[in-house]
């Protein structure tokens, strides 16, 4: 840029000089035009005086002295022009030429005026001589008299007479000499070239003015050339500089991308290295807690588990923030129900609230038949973060979660009016609150309302930043209002597509993890090179009595798979000799086995999970391994796991049908009950006795239907099975149990002469019926107790 500044200064200086020259020349050009006009006027005056003198000579009517005075004024004007130009100190490029032209004009003008002056003098002398002659001859001296005119014409014959006096003769001779001089001067004045100097001077000034004008144009062209050259040079220099900057910017982007890749690699490595030992710590701590009889040891194990889970949460926050920062967080789009969000939320966070003596209210106002399309896992993460924060920062009182479907009306979008609807979530607590001046910073990464917050409550300050980014990725909005010491309220809106599901099976109904507790034992191949992690996983699986084989790398796993049949393979990713991804590919492509495979890795990045799924894994478990997540995965693939790798169902009976079972109520999720929302039982016109009778009948009918379903399915009695499903449907319709109705209808729809209903769907139906049986029993006990108290009171 320095050389451009120097060049700009030089060109500016040259441009200033050229512009100054143009201004000077323009002034000179203007003066030349003025001088030309003055000379032209003087020339016209001289010609007018000459004509007046000539006219006077022919017919002496004008005053010769007046002509003399006019002639003197003309001479003064010419002299004034020359004096004014000589006294002008302004720089003139053609000063000498102009001065020479003025001098020549003045000299020529002086000659003409002298001649005219002489002529006027001769005319005056001539007029005096005529007066003398007229007096001598007694002729009237009036210039206009006829006799005077005749006398002038007859002077020559008169001069030849002999008898005139000497004085008169001398007068006549003098008159003739004056007349001759007059004639000679008139010949000079009336000659064609006598006034040529005026025209010549005009042309000379015009030529000089044209030269000045041409020079002005040349200077303006030069000025334009310099300015254009400067602009062009600056443009080229700027383009080159821009290209250099763009190149430097590209290099910077490449360096940034490499740095981000290095950071991602570091985070992935850090995640793996931290999660692998953490898996052992948490797994062994869970085993100690379950096996220990001493309450103190159980409490200490719980501290280890809580601290480890807190560390994993912090690690997850950092990794999620890294994904957001790099723009790599991707959202899934699948159908889900609100129960899939509220049930895990209630099961996981209610114990935390209970430990702090805080009431947790989850109010789901969304219709059971309404389902949404979006990323349920990320939405669950948002809710866990918001509700978890509320519980953490609330010491007394309550935390409330309200979820409802909202319609915001028609909003113009690209010229079309389309209804905008979605989920509205409100999380309210009675906690410590946030000062008004701190509200703007709570969504900023690594910031918390107070510096003491981290020390007192823990956390990275990333949770709400991640929440905000997830919400914005979903196209939603989040806001917060709070009052210090009075609590906080988060308002969340997500514009998720929704639809009403009437006759389709719930896509994501959560079933109990106790399928893994089935009396039917399965054979599992555990592929893990880390001894501690292997012990933890084996302990989890042995708890249910399954048969476990351990392989320490992929090659050993392939040998096992060639020689034995397994229902499930749990495989680590990073192992010596042959890694998990390559091993899964070879199982699918070389061995042609469809055995259910759970990948088991400390990598939490989506790319690593995608690679495993693409290789052929059915599911990806993330370290540290939690018993709940393992049970949930086995439940999700329950039907597939109970078929061996040769697609023959595993069974303890001879009819090759997977047995249906009645699980203990303690192993079933109580949130699946529907009687508390039954419109039939909530009828205000029902008396207590009628309501009690309905519940007793319902309990018996449900018990009979469950037994019929289990026995008929085990014996493949399709007719009895159809009757049991029809009975279950009628009960569900009568008491308004929508989800139970869908499961029954779905099973009935797949029941044909040659095919039994899906075992997994039937098991879900039985589980839901068991939950409703248990709830009906509790309601019966409550009503019976109420009636007994009423009778005792009377």
With the C-alpha atoms ordered 271, 277, 278, 280, is the resulting torsion angle positive or negative?
Answer: positive
494 pLDDT higher than 80: yes
750 pLDDT higher than 80: yes
Q: Assess contact for 180 and 73: CB atoms under 8 A.
A: no
- Residue whose entry in the numeric block shows the structure tokens 């050259």: 229
Q: How far apart are the first and last CA of the chain?
A: 104
Q: How confident is the model at residue 155 (pLDDT cuts 50, 70, 90)?
A: low
Q: So what's the pLDDT on residue 138?
A: 61
Lowest-pLDDT choice from 17-21, 240-244, 262-266: 262-266
Question: CA nearest 549: which of 562, 533, 564, 532?
Answer: 564
Measured between alpha carbons, how far is 598 from 753 in angstroms, rounded to an integer? 35
455 pLDDT higher than 50: no
Please give the C-alpha separations between residue 617 and each of 57, 494, 575, 609, 645, in angstroms, as whole numbers: 135, 32, 16, 9, 14
Query: Do you find a cis peptide bond into 760, omega within 30 degrees of 0?
Result: no
Q: How confident is the model at residue 160 (pLDDT cuts 50, 70, 90)?
A: low
Q: So what's the pLDDT on residue 443?
A: 76
Most confident of 18-22, 414-418, 540-544: 18-22
- Residue whose entry in the numeric block shows the structure tokens 């050229």: 18
State the average pLDDT over residues 271-281. 69
State the average pLDDT over residues 209-219. 86
pLDDT tens digits, one per residue of 705-720: 888 888 888 888 888 8
Q: So what's the pLDDT on residue 517?
A: 42
Q: Assess contact for 580 and 619: CB atoms under 8 A.
A: no
Measured between alpha carbons, how far is 450 from 136 in angstroms, rounded to an integer? 139
Task: Give the tokens for residue 496.
Answer: 């998720």
Distance of CA 699 to the CA centre of its chain: 60
Q: So what's the pLDDT on residue 546?
A: 83
Q: How confident is the model at residue 584 (pLDDT cuts 50, 70, 90)?
A: very high
Q: What is the DSSP letter of 494?
A: E
* 3-state SS, residue 332: coil
State the average pLDDT over residues 315-331. 63
Q: So what's the pLDDT on residue 493?
A: 92
State the average pLDDT over residues 317-330. 62
State the average pLDDT over residues 608-614. 84
Q: So what's the pLDDT on residue 142?
A: 54
403 pLDDT higher than 70: yes
Measured between alpha carbons, how far is 77 from 676 in angstroms, rounded to an integer? 124
Measured between alpha carbons, how far is 435 from 314 in angstroms, rounded to an integer? 25
> What integer best gives the mean pLDDT of the chain?
76
State the average pLDDT over residues 508-516. 40
Q: So what's the pLDDT on residue 513?
A: 41
What are the DSSP calls for 249-285, one per residue?
HHHHHHHHHHHHHHHHHHHHHHHHHHHHHHHHHHHHH
Q: Assess contact for 625 and 540: CB atoms under 8 A.
A: yes
Q: So what's the pLDDT on residue 246?
A: 92
418 pLDDT higher than 50: no
Lowest-pLDDT choice from 89-93, 100-104, 367-371, 649-653: 649-653
Q: Assess contact for 62 and 55: CB atoms under 8 A.
A: yes
- Residue whose entry in the numeric block shows the structure tokens 């192992």: 575
Q: So what's the pLDDT on residue 653?
A: 39
220 pLDDT higher than 80: yes
Q: What is the dihedral of CA 533, 535, 537, 543, to 10 degrees?
A: -160
28 or 732: which carries more pLDDT confidence?
732
Please name the residues in contact with 24: beta carbons below 8 A apart, sequence gap of 6 or more.
90, 91, 93
State the average pLDDT over residues 748-752. 82
- Residue whose entry in the numeric block shows the structure tokens 């410590």: 432
Q: So what's the pLDDT on residue 74?
A: 74
Q: How confident is the model at residue 248 (pLDDT cuts 50, 70, 90)?
A: very high
555 pLDDT higher than 90: yes
Most confident of 65-69, 112-116, 325-329, 463-467: 463-467
Q: Assess contact for 446 and 464: CB atoms under 8 A.
A: no
Measured between alpha carbons, how far is 409 from 523 in angstroms, rounded to an integer? 56
pTM for this one? 0.42
Q: So what's the pLDDT on residue 440?
A: 74
Q: So what's the pLDDT on residue 569?
A: 93
State the average pLDDT over residues 526-532. 84
- Residue whose entry in the numeric block shows the structure tokens 């005119």: 149
Q: What is the DSSP letter of 410?
A: E
Q: So what's the pLDDT on residue 162?
A: 53
356 pLDDT higher than 80: yes
358 pLDDT higher than 80: yes
Measured between alpha carbons, how far is 432 from 392 in angstroms, rounded to an integer? 10
588 pLDDT higher than 60: yes
Lowest-pLDDT choice from 259-268, 394-403, 738-747: 259-268
Lowest-pLDDT choice from 502-516, 561-575, 777-791: 502-516
Q: So what's the pLDDT on residue 171?
A: 67
Task: Give the tokens for residue 130.
Answer: 């005529």
297 or 280: which carries more pLDDT confidence?
297
Most confident of 2-16, 101-115, 138-152, 375-389: 375-389
- Residue whose entry in the numeric block shows the structure tokens 């000034």: 205
Q: Which residues in 525-538 are b (16+ Cβ under 10 Å) and which e?
A: bbbbbbeebbbbbb
Measured between alpha carbons, how far is 75 from 220 in angstroms, rounded to an integer? 40
Q: So what's the pLDDT on residue 402?
A: 94
Beta strands in 552-595 (DSSP E): 568-572
* 3-state SS, residue 570: strand
548 pLDDT higher than 80: yes
């Amino acid at each position: 840029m320095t050389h451009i500044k120097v060049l700009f200064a030089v060109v500016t200086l040259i441009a200033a000089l050229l512009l100054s020259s143009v201004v000077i020349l323009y002034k000179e050009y203007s003066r030349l035009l003025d001088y030309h006009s003055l000379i032209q006027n003087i020339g016209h005056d001289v010609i007018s005086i000459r004509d007046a003198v000539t006219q006077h000579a022919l017919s002496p009517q004008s005053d010769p002295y007046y002509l003399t005075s006019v002639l003197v004024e003309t001479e003064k004007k010419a002299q004034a022009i020359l004096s004014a130009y000589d006294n002008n100190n302004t720089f003139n490029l053609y000063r000498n030429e102009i001065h020479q032209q003025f001098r020549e004009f003045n000299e020529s003008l002086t000659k003409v005026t002298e001649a005219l002056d002489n002529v006027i003098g001769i005319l005056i002398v001539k007029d005096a001589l005529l007066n003398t002659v007229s007096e001598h001859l007694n002729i009237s001296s009036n210039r206009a008299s006829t006799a005077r005119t005749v006398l002038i014409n007859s002077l020559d014959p008169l001069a030849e007479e002999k008898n005139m006096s000497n004085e008169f003769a001398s007068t006549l001779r003098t008159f003739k000499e004056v007349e001759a001089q007059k004639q000679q001067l008139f010949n000079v004045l009336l000659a064609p070239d006598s006034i040529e100097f005026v025209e010549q001077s005009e042309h000379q000034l015009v030529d000089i003015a044209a030269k000045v004008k041409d020079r002005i144009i040349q200077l303006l062209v030069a000025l334009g050339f310099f300015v254009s050259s400067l602009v062009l040079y600056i443009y080229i220099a700027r383009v080159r500089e821009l290209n250099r900057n763009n190149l430097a910017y590209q290099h910077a982007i490449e360096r940034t991308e490499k740095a981000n890749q290095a950071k991602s690699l570091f985070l992935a490595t850090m995640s793996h290295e931290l999660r692998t030992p953490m898996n052992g710590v948490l797994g062994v701590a869970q085993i100690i807690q379950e096996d220990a009889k001493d309450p103190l040891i159980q409490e200490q194990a719980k501290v280890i588990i809580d601290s480890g889970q807190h560390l994993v949460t912090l690690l997850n926050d950092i990794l999620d923030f890294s994904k957001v920062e790099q723009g790599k967080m991707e959202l899934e789009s699948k159908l889900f129900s609100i129960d899939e969000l509220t049930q895990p939320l209630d099961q996981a966070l209610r114990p935390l609230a209970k430990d702090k003596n805080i009431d947790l209210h989850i109010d789901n106002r969304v219709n059971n038949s309404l389902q949404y399309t979006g990323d349920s896992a990320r939405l669950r993460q948002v809710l866990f973060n918001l509700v978890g924060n509320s519980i953490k920062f609330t010491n007394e009182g309550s935390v409330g979660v309200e979820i409802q479907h909202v319609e915001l009306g028609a909003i113009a979008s690209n010229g079309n009016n389309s209804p905008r609807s979605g989920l509205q979530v409100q999380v309210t607590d009675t906690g410590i609150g946030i000062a008004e001046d701190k509200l703007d910073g709570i969504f900023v990464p690594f910031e918390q309302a107070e510096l003491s917050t981290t020390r007192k409550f823990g956390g990275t300050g990333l949770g709400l930043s991640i929440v905000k980014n997830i919400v914005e990725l979903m196209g939603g909005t989040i806001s917060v209002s709070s009052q210090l010491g009075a609590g906080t309220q988060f308002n969340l809106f997500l514009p998720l597509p929704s639809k009403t599901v009437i006759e389709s099976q719930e896509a994501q109904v959560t079933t109990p993890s106790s399928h893994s507790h089935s009396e039917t034992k399965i054979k599992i191949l555990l592929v893990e090179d880390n001894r501690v992690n292997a012990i933890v996983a084996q302990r989890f699986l042995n708890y249910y009595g399954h048969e476990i084989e351990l392989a320490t790398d992929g090659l050993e796993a392939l040998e096992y798979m060639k020689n034995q049949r397994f229902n499930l393979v749990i495989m680590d990713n990073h192992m010596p000799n042959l890694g998990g991804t390559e091993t899964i590919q070879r199982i699918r492509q070389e061995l042609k086995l469809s055995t259910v495979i759970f990948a088991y890795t400390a990598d939490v990045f989506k790319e690593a999970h995608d690679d495993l799924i693409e290789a052929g894994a059915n599911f990806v478990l993330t370290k540290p391994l939690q018993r709940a997540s393992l049970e949930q995965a086995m439940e999700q693939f329950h039907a597939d796991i109970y078929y061996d790798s040769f697609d023959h169902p595993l069974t303890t009976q001879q009819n090759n049908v997977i047995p249906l079972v009645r699980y203990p109520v303690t192993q079933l999720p109580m949130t699946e009950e529907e009687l508390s929302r039954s419109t039939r039982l909530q009828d205000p016109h029902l008396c207590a006795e009628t309501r009690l009778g309905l519940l007793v009948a319902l309990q018996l009918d449900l018990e009979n239907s469950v037994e019929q379903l289990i026995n008929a399915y085990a014996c493949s009695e399709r007719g009895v099975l159809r009757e049991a499903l029809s009975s279950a449907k009628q009960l569900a319709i009568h008491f308004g149990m929508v989800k139970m109705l869908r499961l029954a209808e779905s099973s009935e729809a797949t029941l044909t002469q040659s095919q039994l209903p899906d075992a997994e769907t039937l098991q879900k139906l039985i589980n839901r019926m068991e939950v409703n049986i248990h709830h009906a029993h509790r309601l019966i006990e409550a009503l019976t107790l109420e009636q007994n108290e009423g009778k005792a009171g009377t």
